[in-house]
């Protein structure tokens, strides 16, 4: 039988051939559509059905003090859940879970018999409980039981260094302090675990696992010394109790580097209880985010500027009649003092406002405000803490400045600074006129790096000449020695410092009742190791810084020298 050409085939055969061809073309077109055009989408949908992918949350980095005290840590806590309608033997399950969850069997049983779709048996369970539940689930194939781990930020020291550390809330959002300012470094990179699975998303060991491990966040080490911080917090608490002040803050700084050794703020708040309404507003760091009129401690700045500019000398003397007229206002000394002829040491010892006004006038507004700016006032210090403010310094020509401001600013009124700016300025005098950038992060250790990234102390500028700083230190030291009853005195150690009793501005005037009492000083005066600022708001036992803040300075200094092994002057100088 020989093959017949299609053209000669019977009509039915031709029709069948054409039909088959048409069907074939349609099938090919559909195949092209599904395999080529829709390939990507379908492939993705198929993958979704037979693969699983779980995000592994990265633990946030630790925060430590320089001596290794742990301040903040991520701990994984578990939420134990059950789907009651799928539980076949609730009595048996309740019996098994009771010792693991450390809960009464009846309480568990009641939840297992609940009508709800999904019931939480236990929240924030420790890892050992979570793992035991997972063991039970896997052994008995109980798909209706789950234990989901999530990282939770915990603060083992509670309220210790609360104004420095900051918080991370349940939504893993950082706020305040180091937590906020170093969020980028502390936050790690989440990982992923994936592979083949069945429809119920149970892994099928079919191939090598596809996973990307989580990278933990970097560890941040602070310059804070836990022992000094403890001393400072304890003394601040005592001072608040004794003076019945509304609030207060203390900073201890190393003047040579600008490192913050301790920083305490009252009232405190437990970092683990940020959700407590009583703690609202207590996490903001008052030493950087609240400004105040510093009062007489600012006389250190005015005197430094005048000495450096050569307007006055250590032996300058003045005739003080108790008042001075400037910019249409009469300025008087506190308690209406009119001491007559006084020299520079007496001016600082007696904290005479009138002489400060005279010195500022001699200096001239432009030079005075240039020094104020050079000391760092009116600008951010850029410390690694969230929420810093610049303070408020009016300057000539800004539209707000009046002539009287030169007079009031000279003794620390009408100018708003932060406690950190104030201690940094005084540390400049202690550090031979060199302004150091204050810092609180000693190093950052990324999870995958071998070496930590150390912070190098940063010299900002030379504000006053070293000789001026030395001269002013001697004047400040002499003014304290001159008063044998001065409560800031630390036996065996030379100190330099100044008290401040600042009025609190209210609308158009000053509060007639309350003051801000402060003391800022450093020791040993000839080779300063520590600068300490004490600030108490609205003290009730006495309004004067010399009465309430100076003793706190002495109490802290006496403990710090023992803690750090700083010998008294006669021993130290003998060794030299």
256 binds other proteins (CB under 8 A): yes
Question: 420 with 253: CB under 8 angstroms?
Answer: no
3-state secondary structure at position 280: coil
State the binding string over 475-494 for other proteins (x if CB under 8 A, else -).
---------------xxx--
- Measured between alpha carbons, how far is 319 from 302 in angstroms, rounded to an integer? 18
- Residue 181 C-beta: closest distance to other proteins, Å: 20
What are the backbone angles phi and psi of residue 321, rounded to the nearest 5°? Answer: -100, 10
527 binds other proteins (CB under 8 A): no
State the binding string over 90-129 for other proteins (x if CB under 8 A, else -).
------------------------------------xxx-
Sole residue written with tokens 């760091």: 285
- Measured between alpha carbons, how far is 296 from 411 in angstroms, rounded to an integer? 5
- By rule CB under 8 A, what count of residues binds other proteins? 74
CA dihedral (326, 328, 333, 339) in degrees, to 10, reads 60
Sole residue written with tokens 């600042």: 502
Residues 492-521 that bind other proteins (CB under 8 A): 492
With CB under 8 A as the contact rule, the residue among 52, 53, 56, 470 that binds other proteins is 56
With CB under 8 A as the contact rule, the residue among 456, 484, 485, 509 that binds other proteins is 456
With CB under 8 A as the contact rule, the residue among 267, 364, 457, 505 that binds other proteins is 457
Residues 335-394 that bind other proteins (CB under 8 A): 341, 358-359, 362
With CB under 8 A as the contact rule, the residue among 47, 89, 202, 454 that binds other proteins is 454
Angle at 179 between CA 178 and CA 183, to 5 degrees: 105
- Residue 412 C-beta: closest distance to other proteins, Å: 20
- Residue 100 C-beta: closest distance to other proteins, Å: 16
198 binds other proteins (CB under 8 A): no
What are the backbone angles phi and psi of residue 509, rounded to the nearest 5°? Answer: -160, -160
- Measured between alpha carbons, how far is 276 from 269 in angstroms, rounded to an integer? 9
Which of 311, 416 has the CB closer to other proteins? 311
200 binds other proteins (CB under 8 A): no
Residues 133-152 that bind other proteins (CB under 8 A): 149
Phi-psi region of 124 (alpha: psi -120 to 50; beta: other; left: phi over 0): left
- Residue 120 C-beta: closest distance to other proteins, Å: 20
332 binds other proteins (CB under 8 A): no
Region near other proteins per CB under 8 A, out of 7-15, 117-125, 244-252, 454-462: 454-462
State the binding string over 213-232 for other proteins (x if CB under 8 A, else -).
x------------xx-xx--
Region near other proteins per CB under 8 A, out of 74-82, 162-170, 400-408, 506-514: 74-82
Which of 116, 563 has the CB closer to other proteins? 563
- Measured between alpha carbons, how far is 248 from 264 in angstroms, rounded to an integer? 8
With CB under 8 A as the contact rule, the residue among 146, 316, 323, 503 that binds other proteins is 316
156 binds other proteins (CB under 8 A): yes
Q: What is the CA radius of gyration of the chain?
A: 36
State the binding string over 283-312 for other proteins (x if CB under 8 A, else -).
-----------------------xx-xxxx
3-state secondary structure string across 528-558: CCEEEEEEEECCCCCCCHHHHCHHHHHHHHH
- Residue 254 C-beta: closest distance to other proteins, Å: 8
DSSP-derived secondary structure letter, 37 = I
Question: 543 with 295: CB under 8 angstroms?
Answer: no
Task: Name residues whose C-beta falls within 8 Å of residue 508's C-beta, 6 or more positions apart in sequence.
Answer: none
- Alpha-carbon dihedral sign for residues 396, 402, 407, 411: negative
- The helix-helix angle for 466-481 and 419-430 (nearest 10°) equals 100
Residues 399-428 that bind other proteins (CB under 8 A): none
Closest among 159, 163, 164 to 271, alpha carbons compared:
159
436 binds other proteins (CB under 8 A): yes
With CB under 8 A as the contact rule, the residue among 61, 74, 261, 294 that binds other proteins is 74
CA dihedral (227, 229, 234, 240) in degrees, to 10, reads 160
With CB under 8 A as the contact rule, the residue among 93, 108, 132, 157 that binds other proteins is 157
34 binds other proteins (CB under 8 A): no
Structure tokens at 471: 């001269």
């Amino acid at each position: 039988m020989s093959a017949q050409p299609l053209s000669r085939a019977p009509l039915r055969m031709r029709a069948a051939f054409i039909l088959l061809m048409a069907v074939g073309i349609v099938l090919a077109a559909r195949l092209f559509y599904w395999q080529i055009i829709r390939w990507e989408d379908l492939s993705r949908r198929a993958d979704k059905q037979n693969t699983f992918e779980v995000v592994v949350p990265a633990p946030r980095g630790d925060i430590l003090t320089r001596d290794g005290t742990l301040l903040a840590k991520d701990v994984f806590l578990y939420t134990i859940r059950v789907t009651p309608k799928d539980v076949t033997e609730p009595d048996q399950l309740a019996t098994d879970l009771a010792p693991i969850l450390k809960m009464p069997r009846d309480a568990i049983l009641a939840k297992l018999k609940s009508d709800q779709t999904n019931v939480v048996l236990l929240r924030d369970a420790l890892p050992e409980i979570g793992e035991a539940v997972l063991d039970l689930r896997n052994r008995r194939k109980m798909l209706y039981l789950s234990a989901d781990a999530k990282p939770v930020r915990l603060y083992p020291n509670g309220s210790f260094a609360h104004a420095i550390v900051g918080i991370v809330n349940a939504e893993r959002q950082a706020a305040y302090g180091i937590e906020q300012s170093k969020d980028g470094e502390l936050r790690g990179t989440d990982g992923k675990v994936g592979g083949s699975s069945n429809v119920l998303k149970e892994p099928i060991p079919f191939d090598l696992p596809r996973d990307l491990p989580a990278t933990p966040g970097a560890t941040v080490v602070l310059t804070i010394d836990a022992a000094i911080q403890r001393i400072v917090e304890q003394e601040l608490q005592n001072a608040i109790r004794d003076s019945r002040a509304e609030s207060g803050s203390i900073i201890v700084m190393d003047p040579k580097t600008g490192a913050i050794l301790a920083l305490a703020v009252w009232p405190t708040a437990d970092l683990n209880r940020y959700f407590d309404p009583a703690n609202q507003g207590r996490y903001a760091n008052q030493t950087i985010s609240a400004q105040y009129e510093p009062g007489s401690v600012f006389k250190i700045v005015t005197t430094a500027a005048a000495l450096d500019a050569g307007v006055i000398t250590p032996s300058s003397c003045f005739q003080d009649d108790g008042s001075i007229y400037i910019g249409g206002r009469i300025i008087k000394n506190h308690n209406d003092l009119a001491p007559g002829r006084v020299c520079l040491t007496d001016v600082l010892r007696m904290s005479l406002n009138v002489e400060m006004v005279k010195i500022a006038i001699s200096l001239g507004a432009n030079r005075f405000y240039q020094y104020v700016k050079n000391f760092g006032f009116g600008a951010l210090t850029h410390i690694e803490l969230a929420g810093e403010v610049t303070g408020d310094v009016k300057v000539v020509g800004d539209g707000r400045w009046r002539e009287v401001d030169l007079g009031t600013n000279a003794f620390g009124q009408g100018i708003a600074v932060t406690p950190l700016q104030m201690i940094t300025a005084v540390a400049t005098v202690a550090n031979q006129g060199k302004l150091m950038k204050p810092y609180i992060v000693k190093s950052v250790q990324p999870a995958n790096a071998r070496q930590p990234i150390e912070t190098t102390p940063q010299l900002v500028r030379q504000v006053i000449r070293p000789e001026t700083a030395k001269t002013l230190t001697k004047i400040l030291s002499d003014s304290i020695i001159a008063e044998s009853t001065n409560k800031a005195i630390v036996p065996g150690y030379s100190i330099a410092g100044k008290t401040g009793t600042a009025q609190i501005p209210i609308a158009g005037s000053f509060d007639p009742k309350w003051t801000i009492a402060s003391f800022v000083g450093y020791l040993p005066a000839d080779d300063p190791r520590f600068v300490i600022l004490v600030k108490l708001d609205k003290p009730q036992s006495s309004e004067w810084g010399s009465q309430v803040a100076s003793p706190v300075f002495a109490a802290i200094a006496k403990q710090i020298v023992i803690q750090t092994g700083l010998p008294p002057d006669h021993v130290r100088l003998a060794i030299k």
